[in-house]
Structure 1
Amino acid sequence: MKKIAAFIVLMLSFVTVISCDKTKEEDKETKETYSSGKVSVLVEESVVPIFEDIVTVFKSVYTEAEIEIIPATENKILKMIYEDSTRLAVLPKKLDEKEVNHFKGKVAPVETPFAKDAIIFIANKTAADSLIKYEDVVAFIKEQKKDKEKVFVFDNINSSLVRQFRNDAGVTDMSTNVYFFPTTAEVIAYVAKNKNAVGVVGINWLMQPDKNIDALKKDIKTLSVFNKKENKYFKASQSTIADGTYPLVREIYILDLQGKMGLGRGIASFAAGDKGQRIVLKSGLLPVTLPPREVIVNNQ
């Protein structure tokens, strides 16, 4: 009997050791820190390219970090963070008061701006117009008469761009002269083939085009937008975004709802830091803080 009891104790000890080792192994695999671990980030579709650049360099520096980028519409991102289905997101806007109030009593959202983007209008290369006024676009969106001469083309109907234009136009249903496509790439492709179309996109996609978009750039042009204060038209560029002469600028934020100093906070800190801001500068967008430049003076 004593031998059986001793055998049982020995087996239980053996199982306990295996369980502890397995737990330690699982903890090692799932442990998340400022620079390691695995996270998924929902990224608003119109600003995917710049965040991809940030993540690529981040992962090259911190090799134990696994970051999955999931393109999504603004509506989907907000819905998922409300439902606590995601803890990290990238949006080309700051949460408004109503959205922030949703998190009262919960984990407070940490919003980190890291780049300034521009909303631009693109047209077919053969189109006569090269200038556009934002207020004319807003008025056009309200108009319900069918216009065969011009159509405006947006990315997904639930995108941040559509939300902004709807709000400014004060409408729920946009004009029948407004078309929607699932992605920015499809908007650009449509404009490249139709001389009566004006596309509305984030400049990020033209500054950092993939192979398909790069091939289409020869068939489109960017329109200059009227600035009321200056009484002039300006094209979007780093300089006109920086000095405020281009009138349609928005900031891009990393939204962290992890409630801890985890990988999300590490990515945000990296993006807003010197290395991240240099990546933004190189991309053609405007950094939130301009990286310092070293000047070497030779006295000889």
Structure 2
Amino acid sequence: MKQIIWSVLGLSLLISCKKESKDGVAEVKEAYDRGTTEMYVESSVYPIVEDINQVFKTYYNNADIKLKMLSQNEILNSVYKDSGRLAVMPKSFTAKELEAFKGRVVPKITPIAKDAVLFITQKNATDTLINYKQVIDIFKGTKKSDKIFVFHDANSNIVDQIKTDARVSELSKNVYYVKTVGEIVSYINKNKNAVGVVGINWMLQPDEKIKEGIKQLRSMLVYNDSLKNYYAPSQSTIADNTYPLIRTINIIDVQGKTGLGTGFASFAASDKGQRIVLKSGLMPVTLPKREINIVE
């Protein structure tokens, strides 16, 4: 009888210590440096998040964060409904938006980079300057224009911000929506009146599909109403805030535990993560330390 009891106890202990998945591989309990989780990434900032994630994995071999590119509205719906608990978006939450989390986990919001919204046209286009207020007037319907503004996804952060600034529920005039950044590039190259509205991240880190296409495009200079001048988007104009259309990229963690979300956010905000941001052409939230070697 005693032998049976000890056998049962030993089997139970073995099962609890080494839980196996369906394919027979031992599951790794999630912590800040290990385990598996999914992260939703707003489409306009996907390249930089992918870069950070790849380097994060080289430091933490047992960490597997699966990235999923979605629109801002899709991410927000998932986060609010608790079906998604880890996200990266170029968005700051208002006090009213944060009220949706009352009674649940308070979201941890970690800023990791600053980027810019670009207006891009054909390289030989005669118009090289643009005023954001006039763009808003076009979408309000108070200003006429022959320009067609091309967006990647009707539910993106960029479209949402323009609708907010224009105080309209939909952008219906002078607008064309496509499914990918590659389609934006292709459409602009074929239509001289087209103006693409994109995050700078895709222009700085183009994938193979758009590398050739963007060589025929240029970024327009945007008017800064406070400084009464036009500025080109660049790392330096993002740093000194002279470029008027700047966004902060945030990691939103509602896991409610010290999981991979905590580890990834800490890494992205660390000196190592900020160096990746700096190298990408975006602006780090915190400038990495520079080591000075004195040669005698």
The interval holding the TM-score normalised by the smaller chain is over 0.9
Measured after TM superposition, the shift of residue 34 of structure 1 is: 1.2
Aligned letter for 1:38? T
Please give the residue correspondences for 1:5-154 in structure 2 after superposition, counting only pairs within 5 Å.
6=1, 10=3, 13-26=6-19, 29-143=27-141, 149-154=146-151
| Sequence identity (%) | 49
Closer, same or farther: CA 73–98 of 1 in aligned 2, 3 Å: same
Which residue in the other structure is 2:182 paired with?
Answer: 185
Query: Whole-Å Cα distance in 2 between the matches of residues 177 and 61 of structure 1?
Result: 47
Q: Which amino acid aligns with 2:19?
A: E
Corresponding residue for 2:23?
none
User: Does residue 205 of structure 1 match 2:202?
Assistant: yes
Larger radius of gyration: 1
Name 1:3's counterpart in structure 2.
none
Indicate the residue corresponding to 1:169 in structure 2.
Answer: 166
| Structure 1 gaps, min length 5 | 1-5
The alignment status of 1:217 with 2:214, answered yes or no, reads yes
Q: Give the drift of 1:136.
A: 1.0
Scaled by the length of structure 2, the TM-score of the pair is 0.93
Question: Structure 1 235/145 Cα, relative in aligned 2: closer, same or farther at 3 Å?
Answer: closer
| Unaligned segments of structure 2, at least 5 residues | 21-25
Answer whether contact 1:43 1:70 (CA < 8 A) is retained.
yes
Query: For the structure 1 residues 143 and 26, does the alpha-carbon distance in structure 2 shift closer, same or farther, using more than 3 Å as the test?
Result: same
Q: TM-score, normalised by structure 1?
A: 0.92
- Secondary structure class of the residue paired with 2:210: helix
Deviation at residue 175 of structure 1 after TM alignment: 3.2
Query: Which letter maps to 1:130?
Result: T
Is 1:144–1:176's contact at 8 Å kept on the other side of the alignment? no
For 1:16 and 1:140, how far apart are their aligned partners in 2?
Answer: 73
Q: Aligned equivalents of 1:226 and 1:296: distance in 2?
A: 41
Instruction: Look up the SS of the partner of 1:34 in the other structure.
Output: coil
Q: What is the CA-CA distance between 1:17 and the residue it aligns to?
A: 2.9
In 2, distance between residues paired with 1:189 and 1:15? 66
* 2:125 counterpart letter in structure 1: A
Equivalent position amino acid for 1:295 in 2: I
Q: Does 1:256 align with 2:253?
A: yes
Kept in 1, the 8 Å contact 2:134–2:143? The answer is no
Which residue of 2 is the match for residue 155 of structure 1? 152
* Structure showing the higher helix proportion among its residues: 1
Distance 1:59 1:70 in 2: 16
**CA drift at 1:177:** 1.4
What is the count of residue pairs matched by the alignment? 291
Secondary structure of the 2:27 match is helix
- In 2, distance between residues paired with 1:183 and 1:112? 27
